[in-house]
Structure 1
Amino acid sequence: MGSACDHDAPTPLLEDLKVTIENCSMIFPSKEIQRKSMFVSNIDKVLTFDVETVHFFGAHRDFPPHLVSERLKNALEDALVVYEFLGGRLKVCHESKRLEIDCSSEGAGFVVASSEYKLDQIGDLDYPNTAFAQLVHKNKSFLREDDDPLCVVQVTSFKCGGFAIGISTSHTTFDGLSFKSFLENIAALAANKPLAVTPCNDRHLLAARSPPRVTFPHPEMLKLNDLPNSNIFEASTEELRFKVFKLTSNDIAKLKEEARDSVGGDTTTRITGFNAITAHIWRCKALSCDGDSNPNKVSTILYAVDIRSRLEPPLPKSYTGNAVLTAYATATCRELEEWPFMRLVERVVEGATRMSNEYARSIIDWGEINKGFPNGEVLVSSWWRLGFEEVEYPWGKPKYCCPLVYHRKDIILLFPPVDGGGDGVSVIVALPPKEMDKFYGLFNKFLGV
């Protein structure tokens, strides 16, 4: 069995990738598109922060970085035609007072840069190195001061001929699944092929009902005026340590077996790898923070559920907006420590099962009436099965894909292993030092390591 080992920061950790910006420009749709305002759903409208991802590629004899930049730029110009919102800007409609996207063809940002290092010199790609932020462009005022493009792409070449594509998009534009489709279309356009997926840009499909009907309690949501000083989107200012816990396929199978064994092996609950891993993380996170001092404290874990197939009628698989809602599970710290593991898995499963058509519509309607955010102790954000690393570009598949990791102790990230290392998963955790020591011990204790 592989060990559920962690690894700390590689030594020495590069804090400066010595990136030089060589060119910044705006790119525009390759064909004229009609200007219009695009409705955004109540899910989209709270996700006004940027999602920044980095996609690493090894050297390719036929595609040196300058040629990749040229192909990618042309592909993005074509993509701005079919993703008509991506070259637009967020604005508040004067009449409705709602956030919307002005499909104004004002363009996206494109940046060409270079690093003084080779790709194999910058460290483990799956370690959340804050220096990777240099691979995604931050300054968005390309042509006008205070301009805020919804998409900025940076190509950074390394001395070995490898390169990184850093993409920043407003979360209002895509969720993980639709961003994967966007990448597939970029890859197809760069290869002069037809679109891999025809995007569905109709956000009205997730409009609130009229009048809105909130038919369930939603403890997983917190009204804006009830928010404490920090909320689900704010970074922490306290000292945090990062660790990457690597679960092999054998480790995951062991967690699933533990769940079955804890109820005698007779259960109708479907024990998936995600459900078992999420229950394991939940138990470790809650007990590392409050389990000893406050066993009666209620812990709430949040995790995303894709609602495309759960709605009636189902959304098109090519829907480009955010079609993901936050499921939740709750238990006290005492219950998390004393219950059979299967019961925790069942709680996680119940949270996802709860997300029916009516429940999803109720949350959307809740957002029509209230301003608020998901509310929980920890959010498990899974990039494990999104498949960004499976996208085939003319220059090959990425060596690794990852978002920039924020300074957050309440978000735990799941990633596929670097270089497609089987069916395992990397669990990225950031906690204050004392809590991390407890988490580390519990993580391995409950795995029997």
Structure 2
Amino acid sequence: MEIKKYTKTRFHPTQFPDGIKHHRHGVSLSAAKVIREALAKALVPYYPVAGRLVSFDDRIEVACNGEGVWFVEAAVADRSLNDWEAIPLSVVKEELLPSCPPHLNQQEMILMMQVTHFQCGGFVVGLKFSHLVFDGIGVGQFLKAIGEIACGQTHPSIDPFWYRDTIPASPMLSKSSLSLLTPKFDIVNSMYDFSIQTIERLKEKIAKETSNINSPPLSAIGDVCLTFAANIRHVLFQLPKAGYYGNCVYPLTITATGEQIMQASLAELVGLIKDAKESLPTKFKEWASGNFKEDPYKISISYNHLTLSDWRWIEFYETDYGWGIPNSISPKTHDFSFTCGILLKQPLPKDGVLEGQVVMKEHEQRFIDEINKCVNV
């Protein structure tokens, strides 16, 4: 498959007095043109996104210098999106994502976007963003704003705000605690589907079992860890209910011994996750006051430490640039240097999908067998 990237520009915040026209108004415009112009208009209220990340001693800040977002237009002349399953993973994950020229420092960029047109008339929107600025909810809000403007709205339905000072920084943090060297494991990139029926059946089974169980003890340092990012907007009472788009997550980690995990029922494992979620306000308050032994943001990287993210409720899936909501959302996980998984929502009847790098090749079949035992109860 040959991909031709024919336009690369730094796109700056721009006001468009005449609005945006495309095929819905009887004018046929390319998706790249529509999205590019909507992006420029969305950057006016979201002006920090057009800035750059800069380092000052032991902290990183956003310089709101208006240098713009890097936008790439690309085209595929010999393939249709109907050929998606036949497209090599390396092409899907690399060629459909934007890249900036050598004279720009990609590490300073807050967001880059690429729109790739296919022979069939469909298109793919590829996105890279800095997790130092955005979390999933935040970038989903920004993409939804672009879509709303692309569809003719003059302003986003949610007014964005940038009150980073309202989010406390722990007095215990230091530059050394933020740096992390990660080993590389030979982990297999995989995808596992879960139907709606399977998920509902598991929920019913777990609900019946959890009424009479106690969580396994976690007092000792174990050898199995699960970390997932928890949204903390609801515990920051000074934030309005909606609109903040910066990174606003706290990593919750569950630790147990391998023996505890092997002996626990599925309902007991779910109980551990529920307990961790309920502890979020207390743990975050302790972290913000410096009352902790280990920095929760300094996650140890090992083969027995799995990091999970849940994208199913992020507004990626509701973003409409004028051609309808996306058919599919796919993360870039194949070159991560640690074990991770991302929960996705796919077109019905699949519903739940776990994609990521979870196990090494020699353990893949055992992992699949365990999943099958779980979903076939």
How much does 1:310 deviate? 2.1
* CA deviation after TM superposition for structure 1 residue 254, in Å: 2.6
2:319 aligned partner: 391
Alignment partner of 1:312: what SS? coil
In structure 2, how many angstroms separate the alpha carbons of the residues matched to 1:248 and 1:309? 30
Query: What CA distance in whole angstroms lies between the structure 2 residues aligned with 1:446 and 1:423?
Result: 17
* Partner Cα separation in structure 1 for residue 190 and residue 162 of structure 2: 38
**TM-fit CA distance, 1:198:** 0.6
Per the alignment, do residues 365 and 120 of structure 1 end up closer, same or farther by CA in structure 2, a change over 3 Å counting?
farther
Which residues of 2 match residues 215-254 of structure 1 at below 5 A? 223=177, 230=182, 236=184, 238=186, 240-254=187-201
The answer on whether the counterparts of 2:251 and 2:296 sit within 8 Å (CA) in structure 1 is: no
Amino acid at match of 2:70: G
**Contact conserved, 1:205 with 1:315, CA < 8 A, in 2?**
no
The answer as to whether partners of 2:188 and 2:361 remain within 8 angstroms in 1 is yes
CA distance in 1, matches of 2:25, 2:367: 45
Q: 2:316 and 2:284 mapped to 1: Cα distance? A: 27
Percent pairwise identity:
22
Name the SS of the counterpart of 1:426 in structure 2. strand
Provide the rounded CA distance (Å) in 2 between the counterparts of 1:63 and 1:411.
44
Q: Does 1:322 align with 2:247?
A: yes
Give the alignment partner of residue 190 of structure 1, picking from 150, 154, 164: 150
Mean Cα deviation higher: 319-328 or 309-318: 309-318
CA, structure 1 residues 367+71, in 2 after alignment: closer, same or farther (shift >3 Å)? Answer: farther
Give the secondary-structure state (helix, strand or coil) at the position aligned to 2:255: strand
1:5-404 equivalence runs, <5 A: 17-30=1-14, 67-93=30-56, 97-115=58-76, 116-123=78-85, 129-132=89-92, 133-141=94-102, 144-146=103-105, 148-193=108-153, 194-208=155-169, 212=171, 223=177, 230=182, 236=184, 238=186, 240-262=187-209, 266=212, 298-356=223-281, 358-364=282-288, 366=290, 373-375=298-300, 377-404=305-332
Q: Does residue 1:415 correspond to 2:344, yes or no? A: yes
Tell me by how many angstroms 1:98 deviates.
2.2
SS at match of 1:123: helix
Q: Give the residue type in structure 2 aligned to 1:84.
A: Y
Check 1:182–1:85 CA distance in 2 against 1; reply closer, same or farther (3 A cut): same
Query: Which residue in the other structure is 2:361 paired with?
Result: 433
Matched AA of 2:67: E
Closer/same/farther in 2, CA of residues 88 and 336 from structure 1, 3 Å limit: same
Residue identity in the other structure for 1:179: V
Within 2, Cα distance between the matches of 1:268 and 1:63?
62
Partner SS state of residue 233, structure 2: coil
Q: Distance in 1 between matches of 2:291 and 2:324?
A: 42
> How far, CA to CA, are the matches of 1:136 and 1:440 in structure 2?
30
* Number of the residue aligned with 1:424: 351
2:189–2:334 contact (8 Å) kept in structure 1: no
| 1:359 Cα deviation from its structure 2 partner | 2.4
Number of aligned residue pairs: give it: 353
Q: Following TM superposition, by how much is the alpha carbon of 1:140 offset from its aligned partner in structure 2, in angstroms?
A: 4.2
* Secondary structure of the structure 2 residue equivalent to 1:425: strand
Structure 1 unaligned blocks of 5 or more:
1-16, 32-58, 215-221, 270-295
* 8 A contact 2:117–2:123 mirrored in 1: yes
User: In the TM superposition, what is the alpha-carbon distance from 1:315 to its structure 2 partner?
Assistant: 4.9
> Offset of 1:249 from its aligned partner?
1.6
SS in structure 1 of the partner of residue 369 of structure 2: helix
Moved more, 158-167 or 368-377: 368-377
Counterpart in 2 of 1:274? none
Give the RMSD, CA atoms, in angstroms: 3.2
Counterpart contact for 2:195–2:351, Cα < 8 Å = yes
| Structure 2 portions without partners, runs of 5+ | 16-22, 216-220
Q: For the residues of structure 2 that align with 1:308 and 1:315, how far apart are their CA atoms?
A: 9
- Is the Cα–Cα contact under 8 Å of residues 49 and 69 in structure 2 kept in the other structure? yes
Tell me the secondary structure at the aligned position of residue 49 of structure 2.
coil
Cα-to-partner distance string for 1:149-180 (whole Å, 9 max, x where unaligned): 32211111100111111121111221111111
Change (3 A) 1:374 1:124: farther
Q: Distance in 1 between matches of 2:26 and 2:289?
A: 52
SS in 2 for 1:384: coil
Assess if the C-alpha contact under 8 Å between 1:140 and 1:149 holds in 2.
no
CA contact (8 A) 2:31 2:123 kept: no
Structure 2 vs 1, CA of residues 69 and 448 (structure 1 numbering), >3 Å: closer, same or farther? closer
- Does the Cα contact within 8 Å between 1:329 and 1:350 map onto a contact in 2? no
Aligned partners of 2:140 and 2:27: how far apart in 1? Answer: 22
1:230-283, Cα deviation, whole Å (9 max, x unpaired): 26xxxx352x333321111221123223324445x55799xxxxxxxxxxxxxx
Question: In the TM superposition, what is the alpha-carbon distance from 1:345 to its structure 2 partner?
Answer: 1.1
Taking the aligned partners of 1:429 and 1:383, their CA distance within structure 2 comes to: 13
TM-score scaled by length of structure 2:
0.83
